[in-house]
Amino acid sequence: MSQGPWKKIYVGSAGNLVEWFDWFVYASFATYFAGAFFPEGNDTAKLMNTAGIFAVGFFMRPVGGWLLGRVADRRGRKTALTLTVTLMSASAVLIAVAPTYAVAGYGGAAVLLIARLLQGLSVGGEYAASATYLTEASAPGRRGLASSFQYVSMTAGQILGLGILLTLQSTMSDEALHSWGWRIPFVVGALGAAVVFYLRREMLETEVYEQLDGPDGPDGPQTAAAENGTIRALLAHKREAFLVVALTMGGTVAYYTYTTYLTKYLSNSAGLPKQTATLVSFCALIVFACLQPLAGALSDRIGRRPLLITFALGSTFLTVPIMTLLKQAGSFWPAFGLSLLALVVITGYTSINACVKAELFPTGVRALGVALPYAVANALFGGTAEYVALWFKRSGAESGYYWYVAGCAAVSLVVYLTMRETRDIDLATVGKGHTAAPAPAPATTPAPGPAS
């Protein structure tokens, strides 16, 4: 394996790790800082206020998806990825220094809101830019494997956040964590973003994008190039854009249920101690991260649809029993086993959804085509998952949320059953007849990505 291709994967993934560390740390530490920005009251109500601000960040993701997806298609993947990590660093600093309710009233919540809006902008562009970059930087027969590192890095970011939480829980008093300890991970995130900013400035552009004729390309100014990354160009691929929304729906709800919401569910509903609930998520996510490359490589052999269909079937029929049993789990091992089962099921979606979406669009609108529809789906379903779950709980009908998750997966199942296979698409000719690229035998295929 040559070093160049893997360096592209490493740099793209490292930035993704920091981005999602900052994004998920908000949810992981919400139980500690929820009371800092809102007046005294019901604990579930304070969590709902905090979850509401968490959801608002998702509604900025379509804006970030449009803005940064346009940048990625017109100025390059590297430029967009550098910009996303800059925005995320700024948001982490804001949260780290935000004043509490006791100091500034609702002013602290306002700072928290602004920070989440910036994070929404950043992540809205990060997902698509990194998905596009990892997919384009890999060889045709290894796109599933390479793009799986997006969720490896996303999950690693969450594992790092949970690891810091476990460390702080074991070294600090509960009072100190509620008072000021929750600020520590946001300082770590800001410093990590500064390091990644430097790495991304040195990263190489993908060859697929460099071969795209543009205003500075070999053929001079072109009308088609002028429309790269525009809404008009995206509207020429309405079916693919709708497909991204529909195939994301079930996956994003399930993912956020078993990652960001799981710790709160185990603590708030199952009655496990906070530290035990955190440890369950931490251990299950480590295994989950290791599964991603295996499933991604499997999709390079058998195709994307079989994995997506397996996820949707499992999520449709297993969500209600898994969530019901999780609520009754009284100790670490039952909770860990059930959580891991759920994460194994959704691996069929998480390991390959990045490349599936990127494989649907031509190069000139690929980043925007992934970014905007995906961000819309996340705003409607992923960002609201925790809030909807808490609403059902507060209404005394918590099991209604289990059926909601299963229903979303069922809708996506219909889409997976009817969509075309994308594994052998030639990225350079998407939109020009959807020519299939040769899929080299695994034993002779080079490492992900062309050498540059």
pLDDT of residue 305: 97
Residue 138 within any structural domain of the chain: yes
Specify the pLDDT at position 252. 95
Check if the beta carbon of residue 26 is closer than 8 Å to that of residue 95: yes
Q: How far apart are CA 33 and CA 111, in angstroms?
A: 13
**Domain-embedded: residue 452:** no
Q: What is the pLDDT of residue 347?
A: 98
Helix (H/G/I), strand (E/B), else coil: 211: coil
Confidence at residue 224, expressed as pLDDT on a 0 to 100 scale:
56
Structural domain that includes position 374:
3-209+225-429
Q: Is residue 214 part of a domain?
A: no
Burial of 240 (0-12, 13-18, 19+ CB in 10 A): buried
- Residue 435: what pLDDT? 46
400, part of any domain = yes
Q: How many domains does the chain have?
A: 1
pLDDT of 33 reads: 81
- CB of 111 closer than 8 Å to CB of 48: no
What CATH code is carried by the domain that includes residue 100?
A: 1.20.1250.20
440 located within any domain: no
Please report the pLDDT score of residue 213 as a whole number.
55
Q: What is the mean pLDDT of each run of 10 residues along the chain (452 residues)?
A: 63 82 82 75 65 75 92 93 90 89 80 88 89 90 92 90 88 90 92 88 86 51 66 93 95 92 91 91 94 97 97 98 95 96 97 95 94 89 87 94 97 96 91 52 42 33
Residue 225: the pLDDT is: 64
> Could you tell me the two tokens for 97?
């220094």
In this structure, is residue 216 part of a structural domain? no
Residue 379 lies in a domain: yes
Closest CA to 207 of 44, 410, 5, 419: 5
Determine, yes or no, domain membership for 328.
Answer: yes
State the pTM of this model: 0.83
* Contacts for 426 with CB less than 8 Å, ≥ 6 apart: 140, 435, 436, 437
Angle value at C-alpha 355, between 354 and 356, nearest 5 degrees: 95
